[in-house]
Amino acid sequence: MERFFANPVTSSTSACLRLLDANLDRAREGLRVLEDWCRFSLDRPDLVARSKDLRQRLGRQHHERFKLARHSATDPAAGLAHPAQLERLEDSAILAANAARVQEALRVLEEFGRRDEPELAAEAAAIRYLIYDLEVDLIQASRLEPGRRELLRRAHLYLVTSPVPDLEAVVAAALAAGVRLVQYRAKPVNGPGGVPPLEDDQRLEQARRLKTLCAQAGALFLVNDRIDIALAVEADGVHLGQGDLPPAVARRLLGPERLIGRSTHRLEQLQQAMRDGCDYVGVGPVNATPTKPGRAPVGLAYVSEATAASAIPCFAIGGIDAGNLAAVRAAGATRVAVVRAITEADDPAAATAALLAGLETEA
């Protein structure tokens, strides 16, 4: 009786193609887990980009011939689970398991692709070493204190400085009382008793000292207008007026991690700020204020419009103090920015505490 045997070469080739297909799937799936964690939990566009780039590089190597060899119905390990998978309850365990999954799959691709798929093997080897570095960066990012945008979301009282005597002492007192968001604004004060403009070296030194105070208190530190000074002191971001550099230009200079705020005076400007990728907006001036001479107040109507329409944190600003805070809250604001209410207070710490109490937020 004549017997027919499968061609061992053909059988081996098919098995190798299935093996490569399975491990490409495994590596790409693991990378997607890491990518989504970077995107939705860490809020790290830089790590998202690195993960996505590696996943897409593997995708370009996932040829149709591998997929056509796939036959899950005859795979003895399809659907096979391990009890250890049920023990991955912590985020760190999930990240570690998926990083290992990618690394192991890449090693298989490298070993079995070397004979017939040298391009795939070389790419797998290159990506495997990049994954080692990515895993370390993921671990470090996951262990960091809350990111800038999370700290911004938690902030409800925003101190904007003015050139007053003993500015560092004023800021230190406000930080001790609970302020967690500070903007360095060194605009000259005109008129009798006004403060002349500082030289750039003076601004730089003052910004550096305030940045140190904020870092010690775990507070965010931003610089008004001056991106160069913000970069020089490693500030957490900048605040831009309507006449300053466009946010897109600021983002290119600052990178993806730092914050960008934008002053807005009407709803169209707020909507544009959101389209521009700003992280927060100022809404005002609510009342007439010497900080913005000649600027007509927008009143509480715009505060109500802004808080209803904004998808990013918005801070009502302009002549707000403990005496009129209730009306601002009634208009819908949960966040306010102040200048004179703290910088010109007899007791900056007490003024800060009163504002925080009025906002019904924790220090």
Concatenated DSSP letters of 48-100: HHHHHHHHHHHHHH--HHHHHT--GGG-TTTT---GGGGG--SHHHHHHHHHH
Cis peptide before 256 (omega within 30 of 0): no
- From the CA atom positions of the chain, what is the Rg in Å? 28
Does 299 lie in the same domain as 188? yes
Per-residue pLDDT in tens (0 to 9) along the chain, 363 residues: 444 444 554 567 888 999 999 999 999 999 999 999 888 887 777 788 899 999 999 999 999 999 999 876 556 555 555 455 545 457 778 889 999 999 999 999 999 999 999 999 999 999 999 999 999 888 877 765 567 888 999 999 999 999 999 999 999 999 999 999 999 998 766 555 556 788 999 999 999 999 999 999 999 999 999 999 999 999 999 999 999 999 999 999 998 889 999 999 999 999 999 999 999 999 999 988 776 776 788 899 999 999 999 999 999 999 999 999 999 999 999 999 999 999 999 999 999 999 999 998 544
Does 234 lie in the same domain as 346? yes
Distances (CA, A) of 151 to 42, 258, 281: 12, 12, 15
Distance CA 76, CA 92 (A): 30
Does 171 lie in the same domain as 100? no
Helix, strand, or coil here: 181? strand
Distance CA 337, CA 284 (A): 10
Check residue 127 and give its pLDDT: 96
- Tell me whether residue 28 is in a domain: yes
Neighbours of 289 (CB within 10 A): 17
Any catalytic annotation for residue 185?
yes
Does 180 lie in the same domain as 129? no
Active-site residue among 185, 203, 258, 335?
Answer: 185
Q: Return the CATH number at 86.
A: 1.20.1260
Spatial neighbors of 277 by CB under 8 A, at least 6 apart, are 247, 248, 251, 260
- Tell me whether residue 3 is in a domain: no
End-to-end C-alpha distance for the chain, whole angstroms: 89
- Tell me whether residue 172 is in a domain: yes
Q: What angle do CA 280, 168, 146 make, to 5 degrees?
A: 40
Does 187 lie in the same domain as 321? yes
Does 70 lie in the same domain as 161? no
Active-site residue among 28, 292, 310, 335?
Answer: 292
Residue 324 belongs to domain spanning: 148-359
Distances (CA, A) of 318 to 195, 226, 256: 20, 21, 29
- Tell me whether residue 124 is in a domain: yes
In this structure, the chain runs to a length of 363
- Tell me whether residue 6 is in a domain: no
| Look-up of token digits 């007509």 | 296
Question: With contact defined as beta carbons under 8 Å apart, do 286 and 315 qualify?
Answer: no
Does 95 lie in the same domain as 131? yes
Handedness of CA 349, 355, 358, 360 (dihedral sign): negative
- Tell me whether residue 15 is in a domain: yes
Identify the domain boundary among 117, 143, 169: 143
Angle between helices 299-309 and 267-275 (to 10 degrees): 30
Distance CA 236, CA 226 (A): 13
Does 235 lie in the same domain as 92? no
Question: With contact defined as beta carbons under 8 Å apart, do 237 and 148 qualify?
Answer: yes
Residue pLDDT, tens place only, 6-38: 455 456 788 899 999 999 999 999 999 999 988
Question: With contact defined as beta carbons under 8 Å apart, do 225 and 251 qualify?
Answer: no
- Tell me whether residue 1 is in a domain: no
Q: Does the global pTM surpass 0.75? A: no
The domain total for the chain is 2
Does 304 lie in the same domain as 171? yes
Does 325 lie in the same domain as 227? yes
Identify the domain boundary among 95, 110, 143: 143
Check residue 5 and give its pLDDT: 45
Any catalytic annotation for residue 292?
yes
Distance CA 31, CA 29 (A): 5
Identify the domain boundary among 88, 119, 143: 143
Question: With contact defined as beta carbons under 8 Å apart, do 285 and 292 qualify?
Answer: yes
Q: Return the CATH number at 350.
A: 3.20.20.70
The torsion angles phi and psi of 39, rounded to 5 degrees, stand at -75, -50
Does 158 lie in the same domain as 253? yes
Does 85 lie in the same domain as 15? yes
Handedness of CA 95, 100, 101, 102 (dihedral sign): positive
Question: With contact defined as beta carbons under 8 Å apart, do 342 and 352 qualify?
Answer: yes
Active-site residue among 101, 226, 262, 263?
Answer: 263
